Amino acid sequence: MSDVSNTPAPLGAFPRVRPRRLRSSDAMRRLVRETRLDASQFILPLFVRHGSGIRTPIGSMPGTFQTSVDECVLDAERALEAGIGGVLLFGLPDTKDASGSSGWHDHGPVQDAVRAIKAVCPTLLVITDVCMCEYTDHGHCGLLTPSGDVDNDATLELLCREAVSHAAAGADIIAPSDMMDGRVGAIRDALDAAGYSGVPIMSYAAKYASAFYGPFREAAESTPSFGDRRSYQMDPANGSEALREVRLDLAEGADILMVKPAGAYLDIIQAVKRETGVPLCAYQVSGEFAMIKAAAERGWIDGERVMMESLLAIVRAGADMVITYFALDAAAVLQRR
Ligand code: PBG
């Protein structure tokens, strides 16, 4: 990571010192470049459902789809071919209920997709999102109490079942995104007890209650039927709290930390990286993607350049890896250069 604050003061001043000398040509700029992008840093989210031959475009996220398992495998093969770091699976179940029980079904869409992808692309890292919101009929990330609150401790048990079923299917990394307190420790214990002590946890450690998730909720069919997620996801006003969340998750056994969203939270990314030095992921979420796509479609910005600049900024801030719907497009740009 580049450390902007430690840049030494220049020895001397203009006209002897001319920063423009090192910007004089492409070769010169490449030589002194501080941050580089590589396809292996990108993680591609995929939305998977039952059935076959399904590839339904997601309206607010041009170029992304809900797919059946067979089509999802094709996307995974593309990701592997492009040298991308991994894929992140989200499930769209056929049925939803109050406890989200389809989330830990051995033949849920995610479990089936993990097996199908690993059979064809054994070297591709398959990460699974663990949360209840795609599987509950009310759309919240956990079990509800009679008064409609999300019941933290009762939810942990369900998340553990879901995580273990993903690991049993062959997931390489488990990524809990629910923001219940204590879930990293609970999932770690459950994975260990089930014989998956070697499966890492990528924790959505600092996940904010963000309006930037709007398009995703269409993609994942996970909009809460009432209320919002502010009683479990973080207040966008809070920075110090992110460090507290991160320390708690590390103490509970998180292997990789995540900050989400990314673009509007670069200060959090930088602070978490400096504070912990632990592998750090940032999630460039659906709204960030949709805004760039929409402006580019209208010709208001150069979509490709803004895509690459947005990813570069996230990595410059301190992210080691980026979950992004641009993963394939950005990898293609890097390949061309
Ligand atoms: C599930 C989850 C969400 C996202 C990732 N996992 C939605 C939410 O919390 O409401 C958002 C991803 C995106 O917007 O791209 N809890």
d(CA 115, CA 18): 57
**Res 232 pLDDT > 70:** yes
Q: What is the C-alpha separation between 87 and 189, in angstroms, rounded?
A: 25
Q: What percent of the chain has pLDDT over 90?
A: 94
Residues, the chain, total?
337
**Distance from C-alpha of 36 to C-alpha of 26, rounded to nearest angstrom:** 14
Catalytic-residue membership of 273:
no
Between CA 92 and CA 110 the distance in angstroms is 8
Does residue 64 line the site of ligand 1, with CB under 6 A? no
Q: Sorting pLDDT into bands at 50, 70 and 90, what band is 337?
A: confident
pLDDT tier for residue 7 given thresholds of 50, 70 and 90: low
Q: Determine the Cα–Cα distance for residues 5 and 256; give it in Å rounded to an integer.
A: 25
> What confidence category does residue 245 fall into, taking pLDDT thresholds of 50, 70 and 90?
very high
What is the gyration radius of the CA atoms in the chain, in angstroms? Answer: 21
> What is the Cα 112 distance to its own chain's centre?
21
Copy the structure tokens of residue 271: 């602070």
Place of tokens 């840093």: 41
Structure tokens at 232: 């479990």
> What distance in Å separates the CA atoms of residue 68 and residue 47, rounded to the nearest whole number?
8
Q: Give 177's contacts (C-beta < 8 A, 6+ positions apart).
A: 129, 130, 131, 141, 204, 207, 260
Contacts of residue 205, Cβ cutoff 8 Å, sequence gap at least 6: 242, 245, 246, 249, 254, 257, 258, 259, 272
Look-up: residue for tokens 């604050």? 5
Query: Which of 337, 258, 328 lies closest to 39 in space, CA to CA?
Result: 328
Is a pLDDT exceeding 70 seen at residue 3? Answer: no
The reply to whether ligand 1 has any atom less than 6 angstroms from the CB of 132 is no
pLDDT at 64 over 70: yes
β-pairing, 55-57 vs 65-68, is: antiparallel
Parallel, antiparallel, or unpaired: how do β-strands 256-260 and 55-57 relate?
A: unpaired
260 labelled catalytic: yes
Bridge partner residues of 107 (DSSP): none
CA of 259 to the centre of ligand 1 (A): 12
102: Cβ below 6 Å to ligand 1?
Answer: no
At residue 124, the pLDDT reads: 98
pLDDT digits (tens, 9 = 90+) for 119-146: 999 999 999 999 999 999 999 999 999 9
Nearest residue (CA) to ligand 1, atom 11: 213
Would you say the pTM of this structure is higher than 0.85? yes
Q: Into which CATH architecture does domain 36-336 fall?
A: Alpha-Beta Barrel (3.20)
The sign of the CA dihedral 138, 144, 146, 148 is: negative
Residue 12 CA to ligand 1 center (angstroms) comes to 50
Residue 131 CA, ligand 1 centroid: distance in Å: 9
Does the pLDDT value for residue 241 go beyond 70? Answer: yes
Confidence of residue 53 (pLDDT cuts 50, 70, 90): very high
pLDDT band at 284 (very low <50, low <70, confident <90, very high): very high
How many angstroms separate the alpha carbon of residue 232 from the centre of ligand 1?
Answer: 13
Distances (CA, A) of 57 to 2, 64, 67, 113: 38, 6, 9, 19
- pLDDT, residue 209, reads 97
Closest atom of ligand 1 relative to the 178 alpha carbon: 16
**Res 230 pLDDT > 90:** yes
Probe target for ligand 1 pocket from 222, 230, 258, 292, with the most ligand atoms within 8 Å of CB: 222
Check pocket membership of 129 for ligand 1, CB cut-off 6 A: yes
Tokens 């990701």, residue located: 79
3-state helix, strand, coil in the chain (%, to 5): 45, 20, 40
- Give the residues across from 144 on adjacent strands: 150
Token pair of 273 as six digits:
């990286």
Instruction: Report the chain's mean pLDDT, rounded to a whole number.
Output: 96
- Structure-token pair, residue 301: 């910005």
Q: What separation in Å is there between the alpha carbon of 21 and the centre of ligand 1?
A: 45
Alpha-helical runs (H) found in the chain = 26-32, 69-81, 109-120, 152-169, 183-193, 214-219, 240-251, 266-276, 286-297, 303-317, 327-336
